[in-house]
Amino acid sequence: MTKVKICGITHEVEIGIMNELVPDFVGFVFATKSRHFIAPEHAGLLRSKLRKGIKTVGVFANASLRNVAITMETAGLDMVQLHGDETAEYIAALREYIRCPIMKVVKVAKPIDADKAMYTTADYVMLDGGIAGSGKSFDWSLLGNVRRNFFLSGGLTPENIHDALQVNPKPFALNVSSGVESNKVKDYRKVMKFILAVREANQGRK
């Protein structure tokens, strides 16, 4: 069954929405260039108010190993997401610093890019299009040769969930951030529509 990750949490009101609607994952962004950037201490405070059972993800882009390790410890998160140019060597070194799952984002613009998802040494892979945080989808037909579980990201909204779930193979999870926002804050109705659409699709596949 496809899972849901809501990324870019920055406000306590958003934590309240997550606690009521219960996505599978929530993400805190520590990439300083992102408008969703959050300080580790603030992320830790918000995480402490989050309902148990929701997995927490720290998002980084080309951060130092030490920065990732300290941030993850400070915020007390469950998984690392690498959204930069991190190599297999970087991932191997990071495993010496942290003891949690690692997800690598692969940007897909052509068929060979999707093939890279098969070879990353990360525990999870997220397939996204183009510029990080652009909110734009990509050509999902490029994913036909992917033979491992993947998070699908980029341009997802409550309105295109049906199309996203027609991707073959089916995504392990859908990742959304700006697609469920109004005025740059998570919108209760949009988050609810997104999660309900995924859950209804899952029920139909049982």
Residues designated as active site: 7, 128
**Helix H segments across 33-87?**
40-48, 65-75
Residue with tokens 């130092």: 64
Query: CA-CA distances (angstroms) from residue 171 to 1, 71, 146, 154?
Result: 9, 29, 10, 13
172 and 150 Cβ atoms separated by less than 8 Å: yes
d(CA 140, CA 123): 22
Q: Is the peptide bond before 171 cis (omega within 30 degrees of 0)?
A: no
d(CA 38, CA 71): 11
Q: Which residues pair with 181 in a beta bridge?
A: 186
**Helix H segments across the chain?**
12-21, 40-48, 65-75, 88-94, 111-116, 161-164, 188-204
